[in-house]
Amino acid sequence: MVKQQELSQTKAKAANLQRPLIPPPQEEAPSNQWKQHHVYLAHYGRPDGQIWSAKVGRVLEGYVDPDGYYRITIDGKQVQRSRFNLALSLGRAIREGFDCDHIVPVSRGGGDAWSNLQELTKEAHRRKTAADNPDAGTKRGITMGICIIARHTGNGVGLRFDSVKAVERELGISHGVIDRSLKGATITGDYVFSYTPEHLAEQADLPGEIWREAVSRLGLLPNIKASDRGRIQDSRRRRSYGCDKHGYKVFGAVIDKKRDLKVHDVIARTFLEPPPSSEHTPDHINGDPSDNRAENLRWATDTEQGRNQKSNRRVVQLDLITGEQLAIFDSIAAAAETVGISACTITNVAGGRALTARGFAWRFDAAIEQLRALAPRSEVLDAVGAPAMGAKVPLPFPMYSLDKVKPGNGALAKWAGRNAGPFVLSDKLDGVSALVVWRRNPGQKQWKVSMFSRGNGVEGTDLTHLSHLLPKKLRILPKAPKADLFAVRGELIVPKADFQPELASDARSLVSGLVNRRNLDDAAMKKLALVHFVAYEVVFPNLPKQDQLKLLTSCGLEIVPARVEEAVSDSILEAYYSQRLSLSKFAIDGIVVDSGSAHALPTSGNPTYAVAFKKELEQQGGDTTVLEVVWEASKDSKLIPQVRYEPVNVGGVILKVATGINARFIEAQGIGPGARIHVIRSGSVIPKITRVIEAVAPQMPPVEFVWDANRVHAIVLGDDEGVVCKRIVKFFVELGIENIKENLVRRFYENGMTTLASYLEADEAKLLTMPGVNLTLASKLVNNIQAGIKGADPVKLLTASNCFGTGVGPVRLAAALKAFPDLLERDMGRREEVLSDLRGLDGFSSITAERMVVGFIAFSAFMAEHPQIVLGVPDEEIEQEQEEGLLGMVAVFTGFREPVWEKAIFAAGGRVTTSVSSQTTIVVVKDLEVKESGKESKARSLGIRVVDAPTFAEEFGFE
């Protein structure tokens, strides 16, 4: 078990090292060059104290802990920056019994330059601390200190210092003299010292303030008091606090050891009644994490706090210079997550305690009424009620996809016969589709811009917060149409020349990640500068295609290349597509063919006036050399191959891995290390091996296996760890039991929980012995498991048991139980009788019936091994109206699964299959904007209807 654990850790480390790393930029000054850390190999430091992460490609931004030390997150661990830098400058770890010391003490969160760090024994470090400031008693008193003012007795000029130690260092006055002056002694030198007004205010009691002995989750806190106004006091003075990375105020306290405690948690435990249960934690009623008054705290579960967070303290993000509203957030937490700063920082700005945060001004919604009185024409007032940044909103104009046509099946000729020429051919850009809408009030020149992603064509994501980061062409229209509304559809895309493989797997993924990202840090904004908006359609006003392109050009927008053809055919489009693949500035995945005439937007479904021509071409593939064949066992013990090869650039996408299909394919084709293969992006999406140029000895599975009956798949022998873990995960997923993922199961497996029974029997005490599990998670897991296995739906449980293998899924199981409700109670010893009944069902062959009987026998043993499971009753029948709509349906779902829909289809007499055939009546995709899958492509070639999930749900009455 130890060896397996070490192997897993080694693989995990290797996987991390294989990710694309972004090294730090080279500095011009030799004295300030980056140096790689000897332990954290993906991290670099330089003499001025900054730290670069090659994993994220930027300088790390950390936070200041309650003791004043700057901390950063490296590989999931909180690391003190000064210790990281000292070890890096020494080229080794800090020795045991030694500590990191700042030669000249710095202010709270100050720099950690190598020249100011030294290695001292812990005793020497303690003595130096005491000698530097004997009255402070702890390092905290020196590093954080108390802000004071030194006023010159001659000219009256006052200087502000962060601490007594800073005064000693800058003015050369001893600590004793400063301390006597602070206590009101007679002036004996050139300066008189006093506390800052904010410190004096902090030490004074507030009107009606109540102080009590402080209580934490660990019990009473010695020498510490808590106030009902949300303040903390130790034996010396009222405390100031740090903020953790989530915006909560924290302070340090010594109990059994030094701990960082959250202020609001201590206030709640001191002044509120005890929590109702272990799942209840303190919650800020108004959503402001800096407001720790006892009256603003309550006990709430995670779910209750989530609802509260969304509904509290809406904040407005404003341009610092113009005052223009950029976005409205439903909560402080949402704003903090999106912009990448702490909630505490935004709160301070919105509350008037600071001016800016990350270059923006911020205001609470409560300030709107005051703004209305001061500036009733402010645009901020028009934005009240606007959707939050990144929110899903109804699109102002529908953004449907295009039907795809491929050569050889006559689809293009049929379409051209229904549409008059001339035809406009343009590149089908391989980016992220976006809609930009300009509006202005009648008689005004100033345009107001909004931006949206396509989403499902009817509902998209509000991207308006990104418009100010893109070129000015998206914000101003120097030669706009005379109307007060102008809508343009285009593509957010990165030029092929600007894309670098270390930025993302491909240019499209880079853009998609940016527009969906909620944390726009400096690195993300630099990447966003690479993104172009390329316009290809005027949505409003309604114009012929050629006039659209002329108008877009006159407005100064970058437009898609296009040409006009009097007639179109497969050969013309194939030649033009091949040419554009080579010449296009951007990645493309087809040619758009437009009828060219003016046309109204469709109210539903894809437009009939344009199609997308697609074909797999030689340019979409490349030759490469196989590095290895990696085998992974499925839940059914099949060994599935993946072929990894030397990276090959295909259409701007770096391909590294392709499916090996199955063991027979690997063996028959001679695929192993050194084999030369040709790979293409099948459908411009999926890497696929089309031929083997030079075969070698096949790399078969490294574990003991046998062939299946058809000699197609290799079946692993024995209790493979991967198989066991996947089956455990499948069980919980099928039953809808949350919080149990494969990484958690693998971690538990390595620590002794190797069977499903071990999960069903586990209590909180058992789970707390597992690594990474706290009391909250343990309680959730136990509650979720026990709730999920009591009264489990029979079909779900039969599927989750994995007793039936391939070929017998939930649809057939539901059909059998519907026809024979007593099937689970039947004696499977009367085999022929059961087989006869099952063979009589529509669509059940003798093989299927045999597999099902074997499965029911195995299921009986499964239930005997797991007595904790209690069978429930089947779900209620579907409504009559819905049943009529689904009657006779043969559906294929691609890109997602929806068990409730599948069950309803079967209950109405329909079927759900995994492959498209001439019998299929409908194909349902998760999102029509996602690249066309093989199933979708085949459905269109057969003339089968293709819809997205929201359309299917609405049409057939699913919620």
On the 0-12 / 13-18 / 19+ scale of CB atoms within 10 A, 843 is: exposed
Residues 6 or more apart whose CB falls under 8 angstroms from that of 267 comprise 226, 227, 228, 230, 282, 292, 293, 294, 297
CA distance 658 to 648: 12
To which H or E segment does residue 324 belong?
A: none
Residues comprising the chain, all counted: 959
Helix, coil or strand: residue 272: coil
Nearest-10 crossing angle of helices 302-311, 332-339: 80
Residue 873 corresponds to which tokens in the numbers above?
């009753």
CA distance 818 to 907: 8
**C-alpha distance across the termini of the chain, in Å:** 47
The backbone torsions φ and ψ at residue 123, rounded to the nearest 5 degrees and listed phi first, read -70, -45
Which residue type occupies 831? R
List alpha helices for 117-214, DSSP H: 122-132, 139-143, 164-171, 175-182, 197-203
DSSP 651-672: TTEEEEEEE---HHHHHHHT-S
Residue 654 corresponds to which tokens in the numbers above?
């770096």
Residue 219 corresponds to which tokens in the numbers above?
């019990």
CA distances from 43 to 21, 30, 64, 643, 709 (A): 10, 19, 20, 31, 51
Torsion of CA 220, 222, 224, 228, to 10 degrees: 20
Q: CB 609: neighbour CB atoms within 10 A? A: 19
Are the C-beta atoms of 528 and 520 separated by less than 8 Å? yes
Residue 24 corresponds to which tokens in the numbers above?
């730090």
Catalytic site residue from 139, 249, 406, 428: 428
- Closest listed residue to residue 820, CA positions, set 766, 796, 856, 784: 856
Residue 35 corresponds to which tokens in the numbers above?
């140096």
The backbone torsions φ and ψ at residue 428, rounded to the nearest 5 degrees and listed phi first, read -90, 95
CA distance 343 to 428: 42
In the block, which residue shows the tokens 């923006």?
360
CA distance 761 to 443: 73
The backbone torsions φ and ψ at residue 294, rounded to the nearest 5 degrees and listed phi first, read -60, -35
CA distances from 934 to 662, 681, 740, 928, 937 (A): 18, 12, 31, 13, 5
Residue 264 corresponds to which tokens in the numbers above?
């609001």
CB-side exposure of 917: number of CA atoms within 13 Å? 8
For the question of residue 139 being annotated catalytic, the response is no
Are the C-beta atoms of 362 and 317 separated by less than 8 Å? yes
To which H or E segment does residue 10 belong?
A: helix 2-18
Residue 271 corresponds to which tokens in the numbers above?
């002044």
CA distance 221 to 215: 6
Residue 743 corresponds to which tokens in the numbers above?
């990484």
To which H or E segment does residue 119 belong?
A: strand 117-121
DSSP 598-639: --PPPSSSS-SSEEEE----GGGEEEEEEEEEEEEE-TTSEE
- Closest listed residue to residue 572, CA positions, set 607, 535, 615, 606: 615
Which residues are the active-site residues?
428
